[in-house]
């Protein structure tokens, strides 16, 4: 249930209403809009509460919400959530580009790729140190050492970092090294992991399970929010369909649907969403047109020899740079701001 205040209500009156709600044994979640405030009521409320609230001074409307997720819902929180990390804001008018390899492989590899992400104008370096592989004999990632390599590359090149965390026990060490923690598609409903991520404040990029509905996806986000971490972004990364030409089917409609249902930033992953390098550029542009707040894109200097099978979907650095330069023109048409780097590019082994 939500209670919407009248335009003229004072902060003192809102505080009194919140106190009244809490005395009824339920939680009140206040979301201030431009002229009205939405008070979300969470918990099993007395059936009479809605009627009592309707009679109270300062309240204009009381609406019952039937959705199972509350904190993730736009009904509870009408304004867009903007997650600020250092000088990057995710979910506002800035288009945020996260680029890098599927897996961190060596200090030289991640350093060189970080240089190229920065040179192209990306704001965030991606790279997995712990890899969720379908088969147990495949390369599983370089582990904690990889976190250190990536943190160092991020620092040196002035990039934020994002890395995947797979188990609750590794959340603290991953959070100590990375700015954003990624929950992979295979772990979207790993509830112990989600609960642990709810207990910290590090921003989380939650990937949609490859066969999850929007409702299941938003309920997974709700676990993190309900634990007390408001810094959650949703990532559409493709779902499993009958089509086998592409690795997954990137559900472009998910982007505007999630933006309608939720206030959380929405990121698109055209790399895992298609599994094919030649489709990354068009699906990146389509995602921006559909309203994505950011992209997470795989890029590698030697994709044919990458240590995971994801080289086939990784862009070469020059393709990545060209794509970002196109986004500089496209983003403003889609209500976003994006600038390629104007800083001099440090020399490295890969020539742009």
CB of 335 to Mn ion, least distance (A): 29
Rule CB under 5 A: choose which of 49, 102, 129, 327 binds Mn ion: 102
Number of C-alpha atoms within 13 angstroms, CB side, residue 225? Answer: 24
Q: Classify 259 as helix, strand or coil.
A: helix
Q: Are 208 and 189 spatial neighbours (Cβ–Cβ below 8 Å)?
A: no
Residue 164 touching Mn ion (CB under 5 A): no
CB of 219 to ligand PEP, least distance (A): 18
Alpha-carbon gap, residue 201 to 348, rounded angstroms:
35
Q: Are 98 and 71 spatial neighbours (Cβ–Cβ below 8 Å)?
A: no
**Buried/exposed 140-166: b ≥16 CB within 10 Å, e otherwise:** bbbeeebbebbbbbbeebebbbbbbbb
Q: What beta strand segments (E) does the chain contain? A: 2-5, 27-32, 37-42, 59-63, 83-85, 88-90, 96-100, 124-126, 160-164, 180-183, 204-207, 232-236, 266-268, 294-298
CB of 42 to Mn ion, least distance (A): 36
Q: Which runs of consecutive H residues, i.e. helices, occur in 128-213?
A: 144-157, 171-177, 191-198
- Residue 237 binding target from Mn ion, ligand PEP, none, CB below 5 to 8 Å by type: ligand PEP
CB of 191 to ligand PEP, least distance (A): 17
Phi, psi of 286 (to 5 degrees): -65, -35
Q: Classify 220 as helix, strand or coil.
A: helix
CB of 314 to Mn ion, least distance (A): 8
Of 76-84, 168-176, 309-317, 327-335: span binding Mn ion (CB under 5 A): 309-317
CB of 276 to ligand PEP, least distance (A): 15
Binding footprint of ligand PEP on the chain (CB under 6 A): 102, 128, 132, 184-185, 207, 237, 269, 272
The nearer residue to Mn ion, 98 or 218, going by C-beta atoms, is 98
The nearer residue to ligand PEP, 66 or 134, going by C-beta atoms, is 134
- Residue 247 binding target from Mn ion, ligand PEP, none, CB below 5 to 8 Å by type: none
The nearer residue to ligand PEP, 37 or 182, going by C-beta atoms, is 182
Handedness of CA 99, 105, 108, 109 (dihedral sign): negative
- Residue 168 binding target from Mn ion, ligand PEP, none, CB below 5 to 8 Å by type: none
The nearer residue to Mn ion, 144 or 312, going by C-beta atoms, is 312
Residue 75 touching Mn ion (CB under 5 A): no
The nearer residue to ligand PEP, 49 or 267, going by C-beta atoms, is 267
Rule CB under 5 A: choose which of 310, 320, 323, 336 binds Mn ion: 310
The nearer residue to ligand PEP, 73 or 185, going by C-beta atoms, is 185
How many helices and strands, by DSSP H and E, does the chain display? 11, 14
Alpha-carbon gap, residue 32 to 104, rounded angstroms:
41
Binding site for Mn ion (CB under 5 A): 102, 310
């Amino acid at each position: 249930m939500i209670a919407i205040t009248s335009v003229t209500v004072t902060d003192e009156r809102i505080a009194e209403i919140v106190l009244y709600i809490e005395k009824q044994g339920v939680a009140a979640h206040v979301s201030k809009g431009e002229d009205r405030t939405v008070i979300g009521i969470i918990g099993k409320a007395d059936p009479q509460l809605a009627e009592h609230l309707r009679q109270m001074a300062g309240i204009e409307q009381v609406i019952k919400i039937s959705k199972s997720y509350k904190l993730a819902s736009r009904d509870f929180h009408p304004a867009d959530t903007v997650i600020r990390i250092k000088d990057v804001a995710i979910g506002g008018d800035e288009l945020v580009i996260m680029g890098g390899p599927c897996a961190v492989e060596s200090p030289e590899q991640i350093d060189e790729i970080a240089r190229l992400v920065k040179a192209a104008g990306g704001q965030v370096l991606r790279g997995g140190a712990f890899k969720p592989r379908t088969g147990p004999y495949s390369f599983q990632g370089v582990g904690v050492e990889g976190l250190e390599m990536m943190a160092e590359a991020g620092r040196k090149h002035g990039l934020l970092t994002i890395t995947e965390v797979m188990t609750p026990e590794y959340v603290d060490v991953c959070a100590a090294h990375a700015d954003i923690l990624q929950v992979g598609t295979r772990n979207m409903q790993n509830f112990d992991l989600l609960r642990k991520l709810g207990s910290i404040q590090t921003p989380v990029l939650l990937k949609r399970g490859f066969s999850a509905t929007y409702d299941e996806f938003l309920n997974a986000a709700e676990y993190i929010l309900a634990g007390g971490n408001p810094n959650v972004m949703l990532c559409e990364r493709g779902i499993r369909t009958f089509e086998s030409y592409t690795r997954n089917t990137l559900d472009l409609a998910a982007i505007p649907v999630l933006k309608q249902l939720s206030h959380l930033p929405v990121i698109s992953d055209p790399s895992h969403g298609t599994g094919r390098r030649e489709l990354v550029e068009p699906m990146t542009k389509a995602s921006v047109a559909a309203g994505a707040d950011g992209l997470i894109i795989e890029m590698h200097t030697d994709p044919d020899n990458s240590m995971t099978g994801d080289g086939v979907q990784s862009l070469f650095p020059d393709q990545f740079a060209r794509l970002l330069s196109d986004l500089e023109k496209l983003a403003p048409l889609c209500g976003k701001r994006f600038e390629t780097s104007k800083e001099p590019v440090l020399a490295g082994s890969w020539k742009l």
